[in-house]
Amino acid sequence: MSWISRLGISGLLFGMFWAGAVPLMAQDAREIMEQVRDREDGRTEVSRMKLVTCRTIKRDGRLVCAEEPRIKLFESVRKDYGTDEQDSRSVMIIREPADERGIGFLQYDHSEQGQDSDQWMYLAALNKVKRIVAGSPDEPKTGSFFGSEIGYEDLENRHLDDYVYRIVKEETWQQRPCWIIESRPVPERSSRSNYSRSIQWVDQERLLNLKTLLYDRQGQPLKQILATQVEQQEGIWVTRQLHVFNVQTRRQTSMVIEALAFNVEVADEFLTQRALTDAAFREGTLQQLTRQLR
């Protein structure tokens, strides 16, 4: 599962933070994370989101922007594949600002162990598709997604066998009973990850990550991710806002879902590079899909 998706910080981008409200009695950390991965999030999803990024300062006990924030509005489409719906394809297209309209991101997530996600970025001004890869097979991907504090690794499918888990303790967070679970990459994954470990506050009933701490390769705190404004839509729990705070740069990115629809009919052809490069095809399809947003 990706950090920003089904594991719930990431719920963020594709399949964001959705889950069926089934109480979980298991006390095994690995079993809990399997339940988080397998929760209901709809076979397809269409959304309109806003991405707000800025350098922050603390004022009156709150983090506020210390500069004019960079705001991007984009539309996203996801579809799951396979008998267990653990493979997925996703596309995101910037709508605003006007000078970035048409920039796109395409991702294929694979459930097969050892197979990393495939990612492409389309630069509309250059009419060029760029594949996003690491410098070598033993290095992590670097760079930020749309200039935010979200990294390309944060968007990737996360394989459970790439990590070892333990329950640190249980506590109440945001008035919700949570398991606090630590995840550490196994040696084979460690060399290809920007993170040495993560600590996640998992809602025991809704199976959402409400809070996540990420540590860099030197073991220092790097990011704090908070999920807020949780509500239910079509029987699925939705976190409408996600806040990613980089504690080293003091920069924050907030992802806000403005509208969303589940289980919309999505043609496979749209989840290809054609959606990036063929403007007429992309715009016509998005217009049809986004009519169902609410």
Q: List the domain boundaries for the chain.
A: 29-290
Nearest to 144 by CA among 17, 255, 258, 253: 253
- Look at residues 215, 216, 211 and name the one whose alpha carbon lies nearest to residue 226: 211
- Mean pLDDT, residues 5-31: 49
- Residue 50 tokens, joined: 């806003």
266 pLDDT above the threshold of 70: yes
Q: Which of 17, 49, 9, 3 is nearest to 257 (CA)?
A: 49
Q: Which amino acid is at 23?
A: P
Tell how far CA 186 is from the center of its chain. 22
**CA 137, CA 123: separation in Å to the nearest integer?**
25
64 within 8 A of 45, measured Cβ to Cβ: no
Q: If pLDDT is split at 50, 70 and 90, which confidence band does 27 have?
A: low
pLDDT of residue 33: 94
| CA pair distance 133, 275, nearest whole angstrom | 20
Torsion angles phi and psi, residue 251, rounded to 5: -105, 150
Find the length of the chain: 294
Q: With 70 as the cut, is the pLDDT of residue 159 above it?
A: yes
Task: Identify the CA nearest to 9 among candidates 169, 221, 185, 228.
Answer: 228
List the beta strands (DSSP E) in the chain.
44-59, 62-65, 70-81, 87-96, 104-109, 118-123, 128-131, 163-173, 176-185, 197-203, 209-215, 221-233, 236-246, 251-262
Quick one: pLDDT at residue 19? Answer: 40
Mean pLDDT, rounded, for 97-124 = 94
Q: Which fold has domain 29-290?
A: outer membrane lipoprotein receptor (LolB), chain A (2.50.20)
Angle at CA of residue 150, ends 10 and 38, nearest 5°: 20
Structure tokens at 101: 């309209």
Average pLDDT of the chain, as a whole number: 89
**What whole-number percentage of the chain has pLDDT above 90?**
77
What is the pTM for the complete model shown? 0.89
Residue 4: its pLDDT value, please? 47
Nearest to 216 by CA among 252, 181, 185, 243: 185
- CA 98 – CA 238 distance, rounded (Å): 29
